[in-house]
Structure 1
Amino acid sequence: MYRNNLAALAALLMLAGGTAVANEAHVALFKNVTGEVTVLRPAGNVAATPGMTLQVADRLVSGPGASAGIMFKDGTAVTLGPASELELRDYAFEPKDARYDFDVYLARGKAIYTSGKIGKLAPEAVKVGTPTATVGVRGTRFIVEAQ
């Protein structure tokens, strides 16, 4: 019986550890979603919903008339406009290790960016790319459009 309890405890600890790791992998979440917004992932496409978490390498695609508000862990806000596609290329917010990175790519459409803590603490770590340019952010708010 003692051995069974240890096995059960070990299983619970592994499960809890696995859950914690999975939760740490998210970098942002949808605050709001209007219309059809899809998250493209290697494991399959998922319809976006408020509260849904996002991970590095997620591609967000909004349909005509759709939009989504996204909040990153450091407080950076991105609003994705209609008929847009945004890829989350890299993200790191680890103040204890002074490790910061924010790299998104707007393949098409429009987005509004508002700086969070990364833009204030390490503005050189923020990159917003488009097919024709890469914007270096120095703590600001702007609208970007990609054709």
Structure 2
Amino acid sequence: MSKIFPFSVKKHIIAIFLGVVATVQLPAFADENYIGIVKTYQPLATVLHSGTESTVDVGVKLYPGDTLVTQSDAAVGIIFMDGSVLSLGSETRFEIVDFLFKPAERNVSFISKVSKGTVAFTSGAIGRISPESVKFITPTSTLGLHGTKVLIEVK
């Protein structure tokens, strides 16, 4: 079951989210293929990239197709190259289905899949340029962005 919770979210996801927002500085993405970077985390989180699983750490680069998984009492804070900020709560499975950011061409897309867990998201340039290009797919629905912030819980 998917729900959007405007105010009721677990304390640790709020703490991670606020920590990421407070330290937001766009990372240097110069001519790299990666699309985001882990800015904060609480242990027991992994990223699946091209079939290889590795432990999440500050500075880990993310790519389209990556899946992040948090265990109990874990959380991850991410900033994407368009300035979007994403926080994952404990026991969350989040996949970056598609991320394209070529603003000069107005060619942008942020599509993700939330299989379970809690996600807090504040949109960046993609949400401002083309709100309809930001989508969160859950087991029971697809959520589109019609503002700047969204909270999602999938059980």
| TM-score interval for Structure 1 and Structure 2 normalised by the shorter chain | 0.7 to 0.9
CA distance in 2, matches of 1:142, 1:96: 26
Q: Which residue of 1 aligns with 2:135?
A: 127
Residue of 104, 108, 112 corresponding to 2:116: 108
Q: Deviations over 1:59-115 (max 9, x none)?
A: 000010000001000011110000000000000110121100000110000010111
User: Does the 8 A contact of 1:40 with 1:58 survive in 2?
Assistant: yes
Q: TM-score, normalised by structure 1?
A: 0.82
Q: Which residue of 2 aligns with 1:31?
A: 39
Read off the aligned partner of 1:54 and give its amino acid letter: L
CA distance in 2, matches of 1:146, 1:76: 21
Q: Which residue of 1 aligns with 2:52?
A: 44
Q: Percent identity?
A: 33
Q: Report the aligned-residue RMSD.
A: 1.0
Structure whose residues are more often helix by fraction: 1
CA distance in 2, matches of 1:133, 1:85: 16
Give the number of aligned pairs: 125
Deviates more, 1:131-140 or 1:103-112: 131-140
User: Does the 8 A contact of 2:45 with 2:74 survive in 1?
Assistant: yes
CA distance in 2, matches of 1:29, 1:135: 23
Q: Which residue of 2 aligns with 1:77?
A: 85
Structure scoring higher RCO (CA < 8 A, sep ≥ 6) equals 2
User: Does the 8 A contact of 2:106 with 2:129 survive in 1?
Assistant: no
1:97 aligns with 2:105: yes
User: Does the 8 A contact of 2:113 with 2:138 survive in 1?
Assistant: yes
Structure 2 unaligned spans of 5+:
1-30
Q: Which residue of 1 aligns with 2:76?
A: 68
User: Does the 8 A contact of 1:120 with 1:138 survive in 2?
Assistant: no
Structure 1 unaligned spans of 5+:
1-22
Read off the aligned partner of 1:130 and give its amino acid letter: T
CA distance in 2, matches of 1:72, 1:122: 16
